[in-house]
Amino acid sequence: MDIEKKNTFVGLVIVNTGDGKGKTTSAIGQAIRAAGNGFKVCFIQFIKGKWLTGEAKLLRGLDLIEFHTMGTGFTWLSEDKIEIIAKGREAWKLAEQKVMSGSYDLVVLDELTYLISYQIIPEDSLLELIRKKPAAVHLVITGRGASSGLIDAADLVTEMKQIKHPYKEGIKAQKGIEF
Amino acid sequence: MDIEKKNTFVGLVIVNTGDGKGKTTSAIGQAIRAAGNGFKVCFIQFIKGKWLTGEAKLLRGLDLIEFHTMGTGFTWLSEDKIEIIAKGREAWKLAEQKVMSGSYDLVVLDELTYLISYQIIPEDSLLELIRKKPAAVHLVITGRGASSGLIDAADLVTEMKQIKHPYKEGIKAQKGIEF
């Protein structure tokens, strides 16, 4: 981080990673906090199951946050790998465009790390976006297994670590809590 | 956890702890997700600085989430310890009442752990509330240094671990991001 960045308004690069809960929900909270302070927020969910998440239902109804999901019915369990790759790259293009537009104070790239893990986009594309983005834009990037290049480029990195999880005790995922 | 709890609708006790970011923002996201699925949500912030947080500004405007803060201008930096204790206990009473009312599907007790760390309420009061609460109510409890009794009683515990933080590089807390 150079001196100039320290002394001017800084758009932070925030990463929520780790195997525990709270990566996406924390990004939602960050988006709500920012919007509550009058920030313009764009939230892009790269991964989406068959259901419409609770946050999607609510946030889509708010004027304050622009909300995008990758595509209807998309899931990593899908067997159509070509479709996954195409949709992943399409979502990434949208993300680049939103970040570079300068129209937002905060852009959330939810579960973006999987696109890198699954080699749908190269890590370099993300690092390049971080370098060239408008200085004031904050980025929140979530997902397991954040790559080392991303961690180096980030300002704030939090690992969500699972200490105790109810699935291990035989409780199923619950609507309203898990999705 | 007993068999009966596994086979009926279970209100989970979720704890976000650790020294990293994302404990409160994750609780906000959890509240948004739940509300988006039609859950009735009550959010109680036990600690509040001099400013009105971005999330408070936004969530108060939503009908879906009932939002409470402990008291205007309250801060742990305050020198009036007697006022802190009185306000802490008052907030705890409100929390007990909201949880026990059965009127909510999810109650968030944001930064509650500090009340135990600072011995404003005994840990036993919290453990008793967890035991006697209506079965279906989900609780989300946040704050650093969750006590061992709370961790034992919880179903899902996540530690937010700081990997990298911009304050260490000389960047100040920023409105919209930190509060």
The pLDDT of residue B33 is above 60: yes
CATH number for the domain whose boundaries are A3-161: 3.40.50.300
| pLDDT tens-digit readout, B73-88 | 445 555 677 777 888 8
CB contact under 8 A, A160 and B22: yes
d(CA A20, CA A159): 8
Q: Contact at 8 Å (CB) between A115 and A145?
A: no
Nearest CA-CA partner of A117 in A7, A17, A8, A9: A17
d(CA A159, CA A19): 8
Q: Model ipTM?
A: 0.79
Minimal-distance CA residue of chain A relative to B60 = A36
Report residue A10 as tokens.
């800084």
CB contact under 8 A, A58 and B32: yes
- Taking CB atoms and an 8 Å cutoff, what residues of chain B touch A177? 12, 14, 30, 33-34, 106, 138
Q: Contact at 8 Å (CB) between A65 and A38?
A: no
CB contact under 8 A, A32 and B160: no
- Highest-pLDDT range among A79-93, A165-179, B107-121, B153-167: B107-121
CB contact under 8 A, B32 and A32: yes
What does the pLDDT read at residue B172? 63
What does the pLDDT read at residue A1? 40
Band the pLDDT of B48: cuts 50, 70, 90: low
What does the pLDDT read at residue B97? 97
Question: Is A105 part of the contact surface with chain B (CB cutoff 8 Å)?
Answer: yes
CA–CA min distance A153, chain B (Å): 11
Q: List Cα–Cα distances, B153 to A113, B143, B157, in angstroms.
A: 33, 16, 10
The residues spanned by each domain of chain A are 3-161
| pLDDT tens-digit readout, A39-94 | 999 999 887 644 567 887 787 777 779 988 875 444 555 567 777 788 889 999 99
Band the pLDDT of B7: cuts 50, 70, 90: very low
What does the pLDDT read at residue B88? 86
| pLDDT tens-digit readout, B148-169 | 999 999 999 999 999 987 665 5
Please, where are the H alpha helices in chain A? 3-7, 23-36, 54-60, 81-100, 113-117, 123-132, 148-153
First to last CA, chain B: 36
What does the pLDDT read at residue B1? 40
CATH topology of domain B8-163: Rossmann fold (3.40.50)
CB contact under 8 A, A12 and B171: yes
